[in-house]
Amino acid sequence: MRPIRSAIPALLASAILATSLTGCQFGAPEQEGGEILIGADLELSGAAAQVGKAYQRALELKVEQLNESGVLGDRTVKLDVRDNRFDPSVSASNIGDFTSNPAISGIIMGSCNDCAIGAAKTVNDKRVPTIALAPAGDVSSPAAERRYMFKLGPNARDNVAAIVAELKARNIKSAALLHTDDSYGKEGSALISFELDQTGIDLLAKRSVKVTDTDVSQSVRTLVTEEPEALIVWAPAEQATLASSSLAQEKFEGDVFFDAVAAGELFVGAGGAATEDTTMVFTQTMVIDDVIATTPAKAARKQWFRDYTARFGGYYGYSSFAADAIQLIVDAAARADGNSETPNRDSIRNLLETAETDGLSGPIRMTPENHSGLMPQALTLLVARGGRWRLAS
């Protein structure tokens, strides 16, 4: 891999320190050497391979930055990346291997909801701290039954609140919903139905699609025939793009809203014209080049955006969550292990459960009652303009 030219070592170190658990907690005694080994169970093939590979790129870039920065002394971070093929049984095998390895400090899991939910008992029984990047609430809740399982990414309830608030602000009276039939899609459907009912907005119709579907046109056509003023798309990036194309073919003239799971590439590519003026809930990091760096945290986000873009030729929205997950585990391990040659997983878990940081994704706070750390104020509204996502005015 070629070096990161956009960050000189001093700036890189300051950016890394700015996103540690409390802004700067690498003050623990340095070990003379050794590795912090982290397992990564990702969707590198099959459904969701696009986001899985984006996670892998982000993890590897962040590890490289940590190791080059010198903040860990003579210690280094190492990844063990496995492909789960978006298959819970394959994921379970990977998690079994990771949890049986006493050298593993923690595990990061990708976007597969069923994989993460299925892993909860194993990581609890084996007492291995794990951060999942899957969106479903059941991944990390209830926290009392998910003591070693944490989640990092937008939460369905916060996404719904942002969308419904915007519907009200635009005085929209009716809506329709396209959602996936997985646990996250069902969670979103239930929350949207409840919140719209509370606000007096009519939910005229709902249609579900499988997460593996490559054609959503029939479901979109059914929803459009109900003539809603707005259509909410609660689906991953590739399916959201398909929905946009279908809406354009149906000549839908209402407002279109994407849930945060739809965030993918910064530039919306082939679906650009169809996606134009679509509103999406996501974090500011996706469009941080539109933001003035008025704080160290914003400066770190801009640096991450530049480094990722320079390395990979574009930016993927969910990359910051993977980078924050690495930072959280590494920071906790650096503080927890002391002079031990093996990771102190219980201490790492305890530190993760009280982690508080202004991360690359936004403000993150874990508590014993809430293992899903992204704060609601991390979310904002983006709009597709000129073939890319921008901050909504």
pLDDT tens profile 156-208: 999 999 999 999 999 999 999 999 999 999 999 999 999 999 999 999 999 99
Cα 196 from Cα 54, distance rounded (Å): 34
Are 141 and 180 in a shared domain?
no
Radius of gyration of the chain (CA): 21
pLDDT tens profile 361-370: 999 999 999 9
- What string of DSSP letters covers 228-272? -SEEEEES-HHHHHHHHHHHHHTT--SEEEE-GGG--BSB-GGGH
Are 41 and 176 in a shared domain?
no
In a domain, 3, yes or no: no
Q: Is the pLDDT score of 14 beyond 60? A: no
* Of 235, 317, 232, 238, the residue nearest 271 (C-alpha): 238
Q: By the 8 A CB rule, do 42 and 79 touch?
A: no
Are 140 and 174 in a shared domain?
no
Are 247 and 387 in a shared domain?
yes
Are 118 and 210 in a shared domain?
no
Average model confidence (pLDDT) across the chain? 91
Quote the domain boundaries for residue 255.
156-288+379-391
Q: Structural domain tally of the chain?
A: 2
Cα 131 from Cα 116, distance rounded (Å): 9
Note the Cα 274 to chain centre separation in Å: 25
3-class SS of residue 72:
coil
pTM recorded for the entire structure = 0.92
Are 72 and 214 in a shared domain?
no
- CATH number of the domain to which 307 belongs: 3.40.50.2300
In a domain, 2, yes or no: no
In a domain, 199, yes or no: yes
Are 190 and 268 in a shared domain?
yes
pLDDT tens profile 32-84: 468 999 999 999 999 899 999 999 999 999 999 999 999 999 999 999 999 99
